[in-house]
Structure 1
Amino acid sequence: MTKHIANWKLIKQIAIEWMSKNKNKAISLEDLEKLFIAKHPERNPVNVSLDTRMLTVNSNSRLSYLYIFGCPSSGKKIRNPHLENNKEAEYPRKSSEKNEKDFFFHIETEDSSLFERYNSEKHGEWKIELDRNNINKLKNI
Protein backbone atom coordinates (compact mmCIF):
# COMPACT_ATOMS: atom_id res chain seq x y z
CA MET A 1 0.00 0.00 0.00
CA THR A 2 1.43 3.37 -1.01
CA LYS A 3 1.54 6.17 1.49
CA HIS A 4 -0.93 8.98 0.83
CA ILE A 5 0.75 12.28 -0.03
CA ALA A 6 -1.20 15.45 0.75
CA ASN A 7 -2.26 17.55 -2.24
CA TRP A 8 -0.36 20.60 -0.94
CA LYS A 9 2.88 18.61 -1.09
CA LEU A 10 2.14 17.58 -4.67
CA ILE A 11 1.36 21.18 -5.61
CA LYS A 12 4.62 22.32 -4.09
CA GLN A 13 6.52 19.60 -5.96
CA ILE A 14 4.87 20.60 -9.25
CA ALA A 15 5.78 24.25 -8.67
CA ILE A 16 9.41 23.41 -7.85
CA GLU A 17 9.74 21.35 -11.04
CA TRP A 18 8.04 24.00 -13.18
CA MET A 19 10.07 26.87 -11.71
CA SER A 20 13.36 25.01 -12.15
CA LYS A 21 12.55 24.56 -15.85
CA ASN A 22 11.41 28.19 -16.24
CA LYS A 23 14.21 30.14 -14.53
CA ASN A 24 12.22 30.62 -11.29
CA LYS A 25 9.52 32.52 -13.12
CA ALA A 26 6.21 32.94 -11.24
CA ILE A 27 3.49 30.41 -12.06
CA SER A 28 -0.18 31.17 -12.51
CA LEU A 29 -2.85 29.41 -10.52
CA GLU A 30 -4.35 28.28 -13.81
CA ASP A 31 -1.08 26.61 -14.83
CA LEU A 32 -0.72 24.97 -11.42
CA GLU A 33 -4.22 23.52 -11.73
CA LYS A 34 -3.55 22.22 -15.27
CA LEU A 35 -0.25 20.63 -14.23
CA PHE A 36 -1.87 19.08 -11.16
CA ILE A 37 -4.64 17.53 -13.29
CA ALA A 38 -2.12 16.25 -15.85
CA LYS A 39 0.24 14.74 -13.24
CA HIS A 40 -2.42 13.42 -10.87
CA PRO A 41 -5.60 12.62 -12.83
CA GLU A 42 -6.75 10.34 -10.02
CA ARG A 43 -6.88 13.28 -7.61
CA ASN A 44 -9.65 15.82 -7.24
CA PRO A 45 -8.25 19.24 -8.28
CA VAL A 46 -10.97 21.17 -6.45
CA ASN A 47 -8.64 22.28 -3.65
CA VAL A 48 -5.60 23.27 -5.72
CA SER A 49 -6.44 26.94 -5.29
CA LEU A 50 -7.04 26.63 -1.55
CA ASP A 51 -3.94 24.53 -0.94
CA THR A 52 -1.83 26.96 -2.98
CA ARG A 53 -3.04 29.88 -0.90
CA MET A 54 -2.37 27.91 2.29
CA LEU A 55 1.27 27.77 1.17
CA THR A 56 1.37 31.52 0.44
CA VAL A 57 2.90 33.80 3.08
CA ASN A 58 0.85 36.85 2.07
CA SER A 59 -2.51 35.14 1.63
CA ASN A 60 -5.25 35.78 4.16
CA SER A 61 -6.73 32.42 3.15
CA ARG A 62 -3.94 30.64 5.02
CA LEU A 63 -5.32 31.92 8.30
CA SER A 64 -8.10 29.34 8.04
CA TYR A 65 -5.51 26.57 8.21
CA LEU A 66 -3.57 27.85 11.17
CA TYR A 67 -5.20 25.58 13.72
CA ILE A 68 -4.50 22.51 11.62
CA PHE A 69 -1.09 23.39 10.23
CA GLY A 70 0.39 25.93 12.66
CA CYS A 71 4.06 25.29 13.31
CA PRO A 72 6.21 26.32 16.26
CA SER A 73 7.83 29.73 16.21
CA SER A 74 9.89 31.79 18.58
CA GLY A 75 6.78 33.62 19.74
CA LYS A 76 5.14 33.13 23.10
CA LYS A 77 2.61 30.35 23.56
CA ILE A 78 -1.03 31.14 24.17
CA ARG A 79 -4.02 28.92 24.62
CA ASN A 80 -6.12 28.80 21.48
CA PRO A 81 -9.78 28.12 22.35
CA HIS A 82 -10.48 26.77 18.86
CA LEU A 83 -8.20 23.78 19.34
CA GLU A 84 -9.49 20.56 20.83
CA ASN A 85 -8.44 19.72 24.37
CA ASN A 86 -7.02 23.23 24.87
CA LYS A 87 -3.85 22.37 22.96
CA GLU A 88 -1.48 25.28 22.71
CA ALA A 89 -0.42 26.98 19.51
CA GLU A 90 2.48 29.35 19.32
CA TYR A 91 2.02 32.99 18.33
CA PRO A 92 3.14 35.06 16.68
CA ARG A 93 4.26 32.78 13.87
CA LYS A 94 6.78 34.40 11.55
CA SER A 95 7.32 33.30 7.98
CA SER A 96 10.48 31.40 7.19
CA GLU A 97 11.90 29.64 4.15
CA LYS A 98 12.68 26.78 6.56
CA ASN A 99 8.96 26.19 7.17
CA GLU A 100 7.64 23.83 4.51
CA LYS A 101 4.33 25.69 4.40
CA ASP A 102 5.91 29.10 3.72
CA PHE A 103 6.54 28.46 0.05
CA PHE A 104 4.74 30.93 -2.22
CA PHE A 105 4.40 34.70 -2.45
CA HIS A 106 1.27 35.92 -4.26
CA ILE A 107 1.43 38.58 -6.96
CA GLU A 108 -1.90 39.87 -8.23
CA THR A 109 -1.97 41.20 -11.77
CA GLU A 110 -4.81 42.46 -13.92
CA ASP A 111 -4.72 39.27 -15.96
CA SER A 112 -3.94 36.54 -13.49
CA SER A 113 -2.98 35.37 -10.06
CA LEU A 114 0.75 34.57 -9.98
CA PHE A 115 2.75 32.71 -7.36
CA GLU A 116 6.50 32.89 -7.01
CA ARG A 117 8.82 31.19 -4.59
CA TYR A 118 8.87 33.02 -1.26
CA ASN A 119 12.13 34.81 -0.48
CA SER A 120 12.22 36.81 2.76
CA GLU A 121 14.90 39.17 1.43
CA LYS A 122 12.74 40.06 -1.56
CA HIS A 123 9.23 39.79 -0.06
CA GLY A 124 9.87 40.68 3.58
CA GLU A 125 8.79 38.78 6.65
CA TRP A 126 5.16 37.98 7.33
CA LYS A 127 3.64 37.22 10.69
CA ILE A 128 0.45 35.52 11.80
CA GLU A 129 -0.70 36.86 15.13
CA LEU A 130 -3.86 37.16 17.17
CA ASP A 131 -5.51 40.53 17.51
CA ARG A 132 -7.34 41.78 20.64
CA ASN A 133 -10.37 39.67 19.74
CA ASN A 134 -8.34 36.46 19.30
CA ILE A 135 -8.77 36.64 15.53
CA ASN A 136 -5.86 35.60 13.34
CA LYS A 137 -4.31 38.46 11.39
CA LEU A 138 -1.62 38.48 8.73
CA LYS A 139 0.92 41.28 8.92
CA ASN A 140 3.96 42.30 6.89
CA ILE A 141 6.73 43.16 9.36
Structure 2
Amino acid sequence: MTKHIANWKLIKQIAIEWMPKNNDKRISLEELEKLFIAKHPERNPVNVSPDTRMLTVNSNSRLSYLYIFGCPSSGKKIRNSHLENNKEAEYPRKSSEKNEKDFFFHIETEDSSLFELYDSKKHGKWKIELDRNNINKLKKIE
Protein backbone atom coordinates (compact mmCIF):
# COMPACT_ATOMS: atom_id res chain seq x y z
CA MET A 1 0.00 0.00 0.00
CA THR A 2 1.40 3.41 -0.93
CA LYS A 3 1.65 6.13 1.64
CA HIS A 4 -1.02 8.83 1.42
CA ILE A 5 0.38 12.21 0.39
CA ALA A 6 -1.39 15.23 1.85
CA ASN A 7 -3.15 17.52 -0.63
CA TRP A 8 -1.09 20.52 0.49
CA LYS A 9 2.08 18.69 -0.58
CA LEU A 10 0.53 17.97 -3.97
CA ILE A 11 -0.45 21.64 -4.32
CA LYS A 12 3.14 22.67 -3.66
CA GLN A 13 4.40 20.16 -6.20
CA ILE A 14 1.98 21.47 -8.83
CA ALA A 15 3.10 25.07 -8.20
CA ILE A 16 6.79 24.13 -8.31
CA GLU A 17 6.29 22.40 -11.66
CA TRP A 18 3.99 25.06 -13.17
CA MET A 19 5.61 28.34 -12.12
CA PRO A 20 8.96 28.00 -13.95
CA LYS A 21 7.10 27.30 -17.20
CA ASN A 22 5.18 30.58 -16.94
CA ASN A 23 6.76 33.99 -17.16
CA ASP A 24 4.60 35.64 -14.51
CA LYS A 25 5.61 33.20 -11.72
CA ARG A 26 2.19 33.80 -10.17
CA ILE A 27 -0.72 31.42 -10.11
CA SER A 28 -4.38 31.98 -9.43
CA LEU A 29 -6.39 29.78 -7.12
CA GLU A 30 -8.58 28.85 -10.09
CA GLU A 31 -5.53 27.70 -12.05
CA LEU A 32 -4.26 25.69 -9.08
CA GLU A 33 -7.66 24.00 -8.76
CA LYS A 34 -7.74 23.14 -12.50
CA LEU A 35 -4.21 21.73 -12.39
CA PHE A 36 -4.99 19.76 -9.23
CA ILE A 37 -8.11 18.21 -10.80
CA ALA A 38 -6.22 17.37 -14.00
CA LYS A 39 -3.25 15.84 -12.21
CA HIS A 40 -5.14 14.11 -9.39
CA PRO A 41 -8.64 13.28 -10.66
CA GLU A 42 -9.05 10.68 -7.90
CA ARG A 43 -8.75 13.39 -5.23
CA ASN A 44 -11.47 15.72 -4.00
CA PRO A 45 -10.46 19.30 -4.90
CA VAL A 46 -12.60 20.85 -2.15
CA ASN A 47 -9.55 21.56 0.03
CA VAL A 48 -7.35 23.18 -2.63
CA SER A 49 -8.41 26.66 -1.51
CA PRO A 50 -7.99 26.18 2.27
CA ASP A 51 -4.75 24.23 1.81
CA THR A 52 -3.34 26.94 -0.45
CA ARG A 53 -4.18 29.61 2.13
CA MET A 54 -2.66 27.43 4.87
CA LEU A 55 0.61 27.59 2.90
CA THR A 56 0.42 31.39 2.50
CA VAL A 57 2.48 33.49 4.93
CA ASN A 58 0.19 36.52 4.75
CA SER A 59 -3.13 34.68 4.99
CA ASN A 60 -5.19 35.04 8.15
CA SER A 61 -6.81 31.71 7.26
CA ARG A 62 -3.67 29.88 8.36
CA LEU A 63 -4.23 30.95 11.96
CA SER A 64 -6.83 28.24 12.37
CA TYR A 65 -4.38 25.42 11.60
CA LEU A 66 -3.40 24.77 15.20
CA TYR A 67 -1.52 21.55 14.54
CA ILE A 68 0.97 23.57 12.49
CA PHE A 69 1.53 26.41 14.88
CA GLY A 70 1.07 24.64 18.20
CA CYS A 71 -1.22 26.94 20.15
CA PRO A 72 -5.01 26.89 20.27
CA SER A 73 -6.86 30.14 20.78
CA SER A 74 -7.02 29.49 24.52
CA GLY A 75 -3.26 30.08 24.68
CA LYS A 76 -2.49 26.56 25.88
CA LYS A 77 0.52 25.15 24.06
CA ILE A 78 0.08 21.77 22.44
CA ARG A 79 2.49 19.19 21.09
CA ASN A 80 3.30 19.66 17.45
CA SER A 81 4.35 16.54 15.55
CA HIS A 82 5.73 18.70 12.72
CA LEU A 83 8.43 20.18 14.95
CA GLU A 84 11.78 18.59 15.68
CA ASN A 85 11.77 16.20 18.65
CA ASN A 86 8.05 16.90 19.13
CA LYS A 87 8.86 20.17 20.93
CA GLU A 88 6.17 22.64 21.88
CA ALA A 89 5.79 25.49 19.42
CA GLU A 90 7.61 28.68 20.20
CA TYR A 91 5.93 32.06 20.08
CA PRO A 92 6.09 34.20 18.14
CA ARG A 93 6.39 31.80 15.20
CA LYS A 94 8.31 33.61 12.44
CA SER A 95 8.06 32.85 8.74
CA SER A 96 10.98 31.13 7.09
CA GLU A 97 11.70 29.65 3.69
CA LYS A 98 13.02 26.64 5.64
CA ASN A 99 9.52 25.89 6.93
CA GLU A 100 7.75 23.72 4.39
CA LYS A 101 4.44 25.41 5.14
CA ASP A 102 5.71 28.95 4.45
CA PHE A 103 5.41 28.57 0.71
CA PHE A 104 3.11 31.15 -0.91
CA PHE A 105 2.59 34.89 -0.69
CA HIS A 106 -0.88 36.18 -1.58
CA ILE A 107 -1.25 39.15 -3.90
CA GLU A 108 -4.68 40.72 -4.30
CA THR A 109 -5.06 42.63 -7.54
CA GLU A 110 -7.98 44.55 -8.96
CA ASP A 111 -8.83 41.61 -11.22
CA SER A 112 -7.75 38.53 -9.34
CA SER A 113 -6.24 36.78 -6.39
CA LEU A 114 -2.73 35.47 -7.14
CA PHE A 115 -0.14 33.44 -5.29
CA GLU A 116 3.60 33.52 -5.80
CA LEU A 117 6.43 31.71 -4.07
CA TYR A 118 7.26 33.29 -0.74
CA ASP A 119 10.55 35.19 -0.65
CA SER A 120 11.32 36.93 2.63
CA LYS A 121 13.59 39.45 0.89
CA LYS A 122 10.75 40.52 -1.37
CA HIS A 123 7.70 39.99 0.88
CA GLY A 124 9.18 40.65 4.31
CA LYS A 125 9.02 38.46 7.38
CA TRP A 126 5.73 37.52 9.00
CA LYS A 127 4.97 36.14 12.39
CA ILE A 128 2.17 34.50 14.24
CA GLU A 129 1.97 35.61 17.82
CA LEU A 130 -0.49 35.54 20.64
CA ASP A 131 -2.19 38.82 21.45
CA ARG A 132 -3.02 39.86 25.00
CA ASN A 133 -6.21 37.77 24.80
CA ASN A 134 -4.16 34.68 23.83
CA ILE A 135 -5.54 34.67 20.30
CA ASN A 136 -3.30 33.92 17.30
CA LYS A 137 -2.59 37.03 15.20
CA LEU A 138 -0.67 37.45 11.96
CA LYS A 139 1.70 40.41 11.70
CA LYS A 140 4.28 41.64 9.20
CA ILE A 141 7.56 42.34 11.02
CA GLU A 142 9.81 43.57 8.19
* Structure 2 unaligned residues grouped into runs of 5+: none
1:71–1:116 distance in 2 versus 1, CA, 3 Å = farther
CA contact (8 A) 1:106 1:113 kept: yes
Q: Percent identity?
A: 91
Deviates more, 1:106-115 or 1:87-96: 87-96
Distance 1:43 1:61, change over 3 A: same
In 2, are the aligned partners of 1:131 and 1:137 still within 8 Å (CA)? Answer: yes
| 1:22 to 1:75, Cα distance in 2 relative to 1, 3 A | farther
Point out the more displaced range, 71-80 or 82-91. 71-80
Deviates more, 1:14-23 or 1:35-44: 14-23
The SS at the match of 2:72 is coil
Alpha-carbon distance in structure 1 between the residues aligned to 2:132 and 2:99: 26
Any idea what the Cα deviations from partners look like across 1:49-97, whole Å, max 9, x if unmatched?
A: 0000000000000000133455999999899999999983321100000
Kept after mapping to 2: 8 A contact 1:73/1:92:
no
Q: 1:103 to 1:73 in 2, by over 3 A?
A: farther
Moved more, 64-73 or 121-130: 64-73
Q: Quick one: distance in 2 between partners of 1:77 and 1:17?
A: 36
- SS class of match (1:4): coil
Tell me, yes or no, if structure 1 residue 117 matches structure 2 residue 117: yes
Is residue 7–residue 48 contact of structure 1 (8 Å, CA) maintained in 2? yes
Q: Do the aligned partners of residues 52 and 82 (structure 1) sit closer, same or farther apart at CA in structure 2, a change above 3 Å counting?
A: closer
1:133 deviation in Å? Answer: 0.6
Greater shift in the superposed pair: 117-126 or 70-79 = 70-79
TM-score normalized with structure 2 length: 0.85
TM-score, normalising length: structure 1 = 0.86
Greater shift in the superposed pair: 129-138 or 71-80: 71-80
* CA RMSD across the alignment: 5.0
Q: Which runs of 5+ in 1 are unaligned?
A: none
Count the aligned residue pairs: 141
Describe the shift of the 1:13–1:80 C-alpha distance in structure 2 as closer, same or farther (beyond 3 A). Answer: closer
Structure 1 window deviating more from structure 2 (19-28 vs 93-102): it is 19-28
